[in-house]
Amino acid sequence: MTADQLIEQAYDYFLQLAADHLSAEDLVDLTLEFEERGAVESGPPDSSWQQELGTAFAPHDWQEVWVGLLDHQQEFSQLYAKILVPLDGRPQPWPIRWKPAP
């Protein structure tokens, strides 16, 4: 899969689950602001996934996708989810770290 395909699939997965994991306020903010400030980006996974997933985790086999809102400096001001997506196209479910509840 290409990086764009991974990002697209991760975002679709995020949308399927967001209502069950984000507050109503977060969903409203995301809906109203995403067109202007929303971003879905990816990069290598951080090492903290190792603790969560155990010894079977090989960072080079995964991509981390971030979904959130950007500030005026084009940096995430609000991060709603980090999604760990396998590079081999393995089917869902994929690990997600949701924005902590207030």
CATH of the domain at 77: 3.10.450.140
Nearest residue to 97 (alpha-carbon basis) of 85, 34, 88? 85
* H or E stretch covering 57: none
Q: Give the mean pLDDT of 53-74.
A: 88
Q: Which carries the bigger pLDDT value, residue 1 or residue 20?
A: 20
Tell me: pLDDT of 89 over 70. yes
Provide the pLDDT confidence category of residue 92 given band limits of 50, 70 and 90.
confident
pLDDT at 101 (0 to 100): 64
Lowest mean pLDDT among 1-10, 15-24, 77-86: 1-10
Q: In what order do the strands lie in the sheet with 96-98?
A: 38-43, 62-70, 76-86, 96-98
Lowest mean pLDDT among 24-28, 31-35, 46-50, 62-66: 46-50
Provide the pLDDT confidence category of residue 102 given band limits of 50, 70 and 90.
low
Q: Give the mean pLDDT of 56-67.
A: 89
- Domains identified in the chain, total number: 1
Range of the domain at 55: 3-98
